[in-house]
């Protein structure tokens, strides 16, 4: 009974933030928003000019805007975040049979991108304050299982080459990226940042996605900015940027006589102009949008202040800046009957038309990836049971 009171108290605190008086519509986890931007005009421009496919001004404008927002030297717009991760991994030399280190608490796409190259995930545990890869555990784990032979890192136990590390900035909270890069550098392993959820998030003023060799953002329908479907790769390495564009554009070139030729097997991964137009309109108001997201997070934090046994996942104030893509609650691990409490909260909210979401299925628990190599994953296993993500559309606070 007391549990039910506790659960209701939590749902009240959520409803106080998300529901305006006299409003009865369903409140979803994260919805696109176009009322604050010129998306309709720009998409109409594509249609009027019949420039709707993979070349056109809006793609260039979109890429330039991403460069500006993230302070990166290069941006390559692509069809989605999964494709971006797969391209980035392939660009740093991930090959068939390799292992790529990644955390198990992320969206399935992170692992799929590895598998699409016939490589396998190698799971390393996370860190409780950011839900990102844990630098201390990573460092110890590599000392235990890895060895370097002729400049190549091998997993001594599986015998496979370890060829990269993917760091994920979960829910837009920055991972401990500087510490992680330091560990990666000790082994000369390239870091790919899965910043799919983290456009606008920063560590000490530097954008998540720009620390590693390459970073990837997603513009899927539920992300902070959407192009319908889409993604972008950023990098400060001009050579890799050229290769990314080439590999994502069927490796197309012109010879001296103006013939179109192709010099390798490649992909068709470029973002269409019409999608870029949709996204560009939102990037124009990106700063305002970030402000709304952060105000929403602040409102939640305020609303949960007086409730015990539950915390809002937050940026570390002195060095981190989060886009608060999905504001997330962490239940106290010492609560009795956690799974009952979590399910009850989610169901009570659903009855009131409010969509909440538990954590993803941990990737090492899925049928496809349950035999992959791993460190001890106790922190991921324990935290995943405590997570509830809250409705986080920026328009909630408008
Ligand atoms: C959304 C997301 C992706 C994949 O992006 P798509 O554009 O949906 O392919 C990858 N990783 C994480 C963490 C994501 O949230």
pLDDT digits (tens, 9 = 90+) for 187-229: 999 999 999 999 999 999 999 999 999 999 999 999 999 999 9
Percentage of the chain exceeding pLDDT 70:
100
- In this prediction, residue 21 carries a pLDDT of 86
CA-only gyration radius of the chain, Å = 22
Structure confidence by residue, pLDDT tens digits, 313-350: 999 999 999 999 999 999 999 999 999 999 999 999 99
398 falls within a domain: no
Looking at the fold, whether 109 and 24 belong to one and the same domain comes out as: no
Residues 154 and 252 in one domain: yes
CATH number of the domain that residue 171 is part of: 3.40.640.10
Average pLDDT of the chain is: 97
pLDDT, mean of residues 86-105: 98
What number is the average pLDDT over the span 250-271? Answer: 95
* Spatial distance between the Cα atoms of 347 and 356, rounded to a whole number of angstroms: 9
| Ligand 1 site-directed mutation target among 102, 111, 197, 271, most atoms within 8 Å of CB | 197
Q: What percent of the chain has pLDDT over 90?
A: 96
Q: For the residues 354-373, what does the mean pLDDT come to?
A: 98
Distance 152 CA to ligand 1 centre (A): 29
Q: Could you tell me if 246 and 354 lie in one domain? A: no
- Give the residue-averaged pLDDT of 13-20: 96
Parent domain of 354: 1-30+286-361
Q: Which amino acid residue places its CA nearest to atom 10 of ligand 1?
A: 109
Question: 113-162 pLDDT, tens per residue?
Answer: 999 999 999 999 999 999 999 999 999 999 999 999 999 999 999 999 99
- Considering the domain architecture, whether residues 252 and 335 belong to the same structural domain is answered as no
Band the pLDDT of 2: cuts 50, 70, 90: confident
Indicate which atom in ligand 1 lies nearest the CA of residue 218.
Answer: 7
* Ligand 1 pocket mutation pick from 29, 78, 82, 275 by most atoms within 8 angstroms of CB: 82
Q: Please tell me the total count of domains within the chain.
A: 2
Residue 106 domain-assigned?
Answer: yes
Please determine, for residue 56, whether its predicted confidence score (pLDDT) is greater than 90: no
**Within-domain flag for 390:** no
373 in a domain, yes or no? Answer: no
Which residues approach ligand 1 with their CB closer than 6 A?
A: 80-82, 106-107, 109-110, 168, 194, 196-197, 218, 220, 231
Residue of minimum CA distance from atom 14 in ligand 1: 196
96 is catalytic: no
Contact in structure between 225 and 249 (CB atoms under 8 Å): no
pLDDT at 24: 87
Same domain flag for 25 and 63: no
pLDDT band at 1 (very low <50, low <70, confident <90, very high): low
Give the least confident one: 49-58, 92-101, 182-191, 293-302.
49-58
Residue 126 has phi, psi (to 5 degrees) of: -105, -175
By residue count, the chain amounts to: 398
């Amino acid at each position: 009974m007391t549990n039910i009171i506790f659960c209701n108290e939590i749902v009240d605190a959520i409803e106080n933030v998300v529901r305006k008086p006299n409003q009865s519509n369903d409140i979803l986890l994260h919805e696109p928003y176009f009322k604050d931007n010129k998306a309709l005009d720009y998409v109409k421009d594509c249609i009027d000019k019949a420039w709707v496919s993979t070349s056109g001004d809006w793609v260039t404008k979109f890429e330039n805007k991403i460069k500006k927002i993230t302070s990166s030297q290069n941006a390559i717009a692509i069809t989605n975040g999964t494709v971006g991760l797969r391209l980035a991994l392939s660009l740093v030399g991930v090959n068939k049979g390799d292992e790529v280190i990644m955390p198990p608490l992320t969206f399935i796409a992170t692992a799929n991108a590895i598998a699409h190259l016939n490589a396998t995930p190698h799971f390393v545990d996370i860190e409780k304050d950011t839900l990102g890869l844990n630098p201390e555990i990573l460092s110890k784990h590599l000392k235990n299982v890895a060895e370097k032979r002729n400049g190549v890192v091998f997993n001594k136990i599986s015998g496979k080459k370890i060829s990269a590390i993917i760091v994920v900035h979960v829910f837009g909270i920055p991972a401990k990226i500087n510490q992680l890069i330091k560990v990666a550098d000790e082994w000369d392993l390239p870091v790919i940042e899965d910043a799919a959820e983290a456009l606008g998030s920063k560590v000490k003023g530097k954008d998540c996605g720009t620390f590693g060799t390459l970073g990837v953002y997603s513009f899927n329908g539920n992300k902070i900015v959407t192009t319908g479907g889409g993604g972008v790769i950023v990098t400060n390495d001009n050579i890799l940027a050229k290769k990314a564009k080439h590999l994502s554009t069927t490796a197309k070139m012109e010879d001296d006589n103006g013939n179109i030729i192709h010099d390798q097997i490649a992909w068709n991964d470029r973002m269409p102009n019409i999608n870029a137009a949709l996204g560009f309109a939102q990037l124009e108001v990106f700063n305002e949008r970030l402000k709304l997201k952060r105000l929403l997070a602040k409102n939640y934090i305020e609303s949960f202040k007086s409730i015990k046994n539950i915390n809002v996942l937050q940026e570390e104030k002195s060095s981190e800046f989060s886009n608060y893509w999905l504001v997330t609650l962490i239940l106290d691990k010492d609560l009795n009957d956690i799974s009952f409490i979590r399910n009850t909260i989610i169901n009570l909210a659903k009855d009131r038309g409010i969509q909440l979401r538990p954590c993803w299925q941990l990737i090492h628990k899925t049928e496809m990836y349950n035999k992959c190599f791993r460190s001890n994953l106790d922190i991921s296993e324990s935290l995943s049971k405590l997570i509830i993500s809250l409705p986080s559309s920026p328009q909630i606070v408008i």
